[in-house]
Structure 1
């Protein structure tokens, strides 16, 4: 591709040909264009061989690349990405391929980024706003993020994921029963990514305050003796109901800018991980079965799951 200061863009090359056909000497063309006679000869010869099409930029891609990743490996990388919907760090560790190689292969095959995909179905969605401002606190407990995720309860038998959407639609019209929602409250440490989650009946102020007390105790049991700052959104239950708990534990409460949940991105990312790797990872036949699976998954997340922001290590490695 021509750079912005190039003397011979497509129009410049076409001008060389036009002046040559008008009878200009090659030396005069070169002097007028500020280029060498060798360059003039090259474009005139290419025009003779290929016509006007030969004046366009050619691809700089080599004809052969002996060190390119094997085609079978590329197919395995793409297949794992489509099946597991994981990032290059996870795929690379699973297949024994460097993460940079995985990234290049995915880009070569024009595989959409994970942020552009539906976390449940893998279908391409409209990209959401992203920010290039990334930060990480220096020590555990310096800042924690808190949020709640609402999940629809699962009816006995598994719901539409187990029985199909059409069957459930007919049944819901006949019975008109509403199962309600589970509220998954979560607290995440900014530095270590240590997470604590509970399924509760609502997201009211007293419920949030009681959850924060238990989360503080959980963090203390894992080596985070003191929480300095708490970051939440501007929900009423957070803004007014957590004051007493924060005062008792000497925690400074912070709030994100309204309508900017990405400022609380670490716990929002945990919410997405909860959905893709716990809540919707498999078909549960009852709501209790899904609730029972949360604690083992959370233990796996904190102690064994590789975290890309931590260099492929679990959160407990930073405690």
Structure 2
């Protein structure tokens, strides 16, 4: 409540006190007229006699002793994670437990966000009703299917004639392990180079690759996969939701990687590739994934290696 509102309420209480002295002459009649209890009237009167107008201002109802109150340092971290990454209460609770050894419930995080006015996400981030969401599915075996896609990027801080770059992304349907790489071209030769790079990095065999109908995933790419004993399937035209995991991962890149690079000059392709590799490692080894129950992709991979039926 603002200082102006506190002062306005204090003046209203003072008017009630003066009404008894100057108008009604009766506490009962004044209390009936203003719709307040006599206990409230006498409480206001005692505070006014002891502290003057300042005593009539509303006071916090917060208890003096709160043994279970959230630590102020934790309260500072929660809005920061919300503003930096647009995390929801559940993801914030996961991060605090993993990186700060802080246990707090999702509802507790939500109450803190509500208190500071950050309980509502931007429209693009809000949870959708069940009727408007697509049913989530997941392959049960690492390597059973990779989703592969390309997105245009522009390394920050370029001067003069700017070069175009393309981020190739492959994500394992089962574990969410990702492989990223940026290239200055977007064609079938580049796509073939990328898929060979993916096969060399993943610790499991790839059985199937799913792509959209882009020209970079044409006949040469298709036959290269078949030569490597990898099946190639394409989603229906104009249905990017069928490649939902890789599409969602691109949005995560935008929110948690590229947006944090704003204002930083990166005019070197090798430096940019190094930063992208660091982000890939963070995503795979350190970042808890909501769809994996707070596990990182490599933790899920280890779990699948121990118990393939989980």
Aligned to 2:136: 134
Aligned to 1:194: 177
Aligned to 2:120: 112
8 Å CA contact 1:152–1:182 kept in 2: the answer is yes
Query: 1:62-115 deviations in whole A, cap 9, x for unaligned?
Result: xx9x99x96977786445412442232331132531234435665785733366
Alignment of 1:60-139 (within 5 A): 77-78=78-79, 80-92=81-93, 93-94=95-96, 96-103=103-110, 111-113=119-121, 116-117=124-125, 131-139=133-141
Aligned to 1:285: 265
8 Å CA contact 1:182–1:202 kept in 2: the answer is yes
8 Å CA contact 1:154–1:179 kept in 2: the answer is no
Distance (Å, rounded) in 1 between the aligned partners of 2:298 and 2:123: 26
8 Å CA contact 2:181–2:273 kept in 1: the answer is no
CA apart distance, 1:246 = 1.4
| Matching residue within 198, 206, 210 for 1:215 | 198
Aligned to 2:291: 309
User: Which secondary structure state, in structure 2, belongs to the residue aligned with residue 134 of structure 1?
Assistant: coil
Aligned to 2:229: 250
User: Which secondary structure state, in structure 2, belongs to the residue aligned with residue 287 of structure 1?
Assistant: coil
User: Which secondary structure state, in structure 1, belongs to the residue aligned with residue 218 of structure 2?
Assistant: helix
CA apart distance, 1:144 = 0.7
Number of paired residues? 224
Query: 1:131-179 deviations in whole A, cap 9, x for unaligned?
Result: 33110111101111001111123335xx7xxxxxxxxxxxxxxxxx430
8 Å CA contact 2:85–2:255 kept in 1: the answer is no
CA apart distance, 1:204 = 0.5
User: Runs of at least 4 residues of structure 1 off by over 4 A?
Assistant: 69-76, 103-110
8 Å CA contact 2:209–2:230 kept in 1: the answer is yes
| Matching residue within 141, 163, 181 for 2:164 | 181
Aligned to 1:149: 151
- 2:229 is aligned with 1:227: no
Distance (Å, rounded) in 2 between the aligned partners of 1:241 and 1:105: 54
Distance (Å, rounded) in 1 between the aligned partners of 2:242 and 2:111: 29
CA apart distance, 1:116 = 1.7
8 Å CA contact 2:226–2:232 kept in 1: the answer is no
Q: Which runs of 5+ in 2 are unaligned?
A: 1-60, 97-101, 302-310
CA separation of 1:114/1:70 partners in 2, compared to 1, >3 Å: closer, same or farther? farther
- 2:237 is aligned with 1:237: no
With the length of structure 2 as denominator, give the TM-score of the two structures: 0.62
Higher helix share: 2
With the length of structure 1 as denominator, give the TM-score of the two structures: 0.61
Q: Which runs of 5+ in 1 are unaligned?
A: 1-63, 118-123, 160-176
